[in-house]
Structure 1
């Protein structure tokens, strides 16, 4: 499948966390927490890219950071944390709904306290991907390195609560894996190495094999409940539409997203029998399309551009010091790539409502 190259470096993002097919509604917090208690959900552990990085990149020697305003303008205390949004991420809202914390800390945060470990952390790193080369190109944490930090986390947790309790916490944790977009936009369509080795479909298969190998390592460290987020409709990102000089979503890229997501779902269907993991697919593609096609149902007004700057090209460092829209809660996108806190909240509400025995039982 021929795909036009985008000759620009993207801090791509697994744009959203979960599929929602209906407008968001207020979450019954008591019900959610009773469900979490019934199935002994202990915390949320997070692996991925900028969709779920809560500040690990702040500690890395990389340009892929967002620890400056206007990022974080709607976070607690108007504080930029390294999250690529105006406020919190979907994983933060999920953790809050379960009843533990309002924001998941980054594992590399120097202010992380020992007692914070029991409530879960994020190992995610913006600009990362399933392919280690993707992370190496931008000097961020490869998924394999994130898993190694997870191993360190388990050691620290064991020292804090004891080995048996640590095993129980990890076994009953809700683990989220959200990445893949960077592998295509930053790596395969920009760098010469992988295209010489793989056709587009072969590269998708290679990414699936990388994903599976890392999930096996996570399983070896004790996880048993896993949510894997599919890649979003890449062609609908404002930045991609701008670069392709299109006002509507670029279908060629969206079709590629769909094909890769189908491979993720096929692999997840085998996890229970092969690894003993309850694996659930989160339809990021459908979530974004639903919001863009039916904005009024979600309380949104702007779906074509981001809140930062012109909303058509700015993201990451190019958003630094930019003017922003007056009300980000009316926007799907915060910058030209990443969603707003409002969009993440909608996604998280739909995700929590969908939790059932197939994942938690």
Structure 2
């Protein structure tokens, strides 16, 4: 009862969601549901869409721990997040009432509270295909899952074996990746394109995804949120590479087809593993914002805020000038969305939370 009262108080303090988002989030409902269904924390796997700075600790060029990244983060601090501010998982954790940000697991000096509220194992430039991560010397999902096991050991030392098992069981596992598999590993490097058609590669990726999910289940996961691949053809970088002012249909078809395969796989989880799953349609959300920017409070949806907005991302964005107000832009750089766009995605995910998913 005390927990529920605290949740109600936190909800009253919560900042109201912007009316420009696709769905307004009922913070009270979300936090009440989190308390009633014992959501313990958020555990995150994936790529730069959810990496809060793990790559800072790796010998890789795929980092975002320098200005202008973090321009609108707390105190304007670059953290390794590939955006001007926070990521969707940060907003999800805040809405649940736990923490304002989800730290990277490789962050030095993680506190006990960090471990209890949730961490991200994600690594920018990673993907469902381990080869994708190997090309850029970042953490493949297999390594991210090894770190999950290390995390579980730390939890046992902190709260005991039984409580650690319950924390994992009641956590929300978030997976967000796939972009690098297609753009870097299929369309640019061409390694996989020599082996697979794009449809076959989508099948290969979803098979890899299911292998990873089964390993999460073995470790204790029961609640899974999977974020779909965004409309790749609408990214400023892709439009530049394809020399078009419009969303490229080939890239978008690859993303759309893959997302359908993901949804079909997720539909089998309840029966096969007893896992609850929720799919977040990042493709539809971002495509809608690109086509109807004014509806979401944006004015620019064709280019990013950093540099020319057409090709810069990661180290090529370092030290570049930016637009005056990133909240008017769908994209922060030529690949990654702005904090505002990420918040819209998080709001959609939170609005989709239901008791069926949490049972």
Which TM-score bucket, shorter chain as reference? over 0.9
2:56 and 2:63 in contact (8 A); partners too: yes
Q: How many residues align?
A: 340
The question of 1:100 aligning with 2:98 is answered yes
* 1:12-161 → structure 2 map (5 Å cutoff): 23-24=21-22, 26-161=24-159
Q: Which residue in the other structure is 2:5 paired with?
A: none
Task: After TM superposition, give the deviation of residue 205 of structure 1 in Å.
Answer: 1.0
The question of 1:206 aligning with 2:204 is answered yes
Q: Which residue in the other structure is 2:214 paired with?
A: 216
Rounded to whole Å, the distance in 2 between the matches of 1:50 and 1:177 is 11
Q: Which residue in the other structure is 2:177 paired with?
A: 179
Selected match of 1:271 from 261, 269, 273 = 269
Q: Which residue in the other structure is 1:320 paired with?
A: 318
* 1:225-304 → structure 2 map (5 Å cutoff): 225-304=223-302
Per-residue CA deviation, residues 76-120 of structure 1 (Å, 9 max, x unaligned), is 111100000000001100000000000000000013123310100
Per-residue CA deviation, residues 231-285 of structure 1 (Å, 9 max, x unaligned), is 1110000011011111110011101111111110111110111111101211111
Q: Secondary structure at the match of 1:281?
A: strand
Rounded to whole Å, the distance in 1 between the matches of 2:288 and 2:194 is 36
Report 1 or 2 for greater relative contact order, CA contacts < 8 Å, sequence distance ≥ 6.
Answer: 1
Structure 1, unmatched stretches of 5+, are 1-21
Bigger drift between 159-168 and 350-359 goes to 350-359
Rounded to whole Å, the distance in 1 between the matches of 2:283 and 2:190 is 27
Rounded to whole Å, the distance in 2 between the matches of 1:206 and 1:331 is 34
Rounded to whole Å, the distance in 1 between the matches of 2:191 and 2:291 is 37
Please give the TM-score of this superposition, normalised by the length of structure 1: 0.92
Task: After TM superposition, give the deviation of residue 200 of structure 1 in Å.
Answer: 2.0
Bigger drift between 24-33 and 300-309 goes to 24-33
Q: Secondary structure at the match of 1:228?
A: strand
Structure 2, unmatched stretches of 5+, are 1-19
Bigger helix fraction? 2
Rounded to whole Å, the distance in 2 between the matches of 1:86 and 1:68 is 11
CA RMSD of aligned residues (A): 1.2
Q: Secondary structure at the match of 1:176?
A: strand
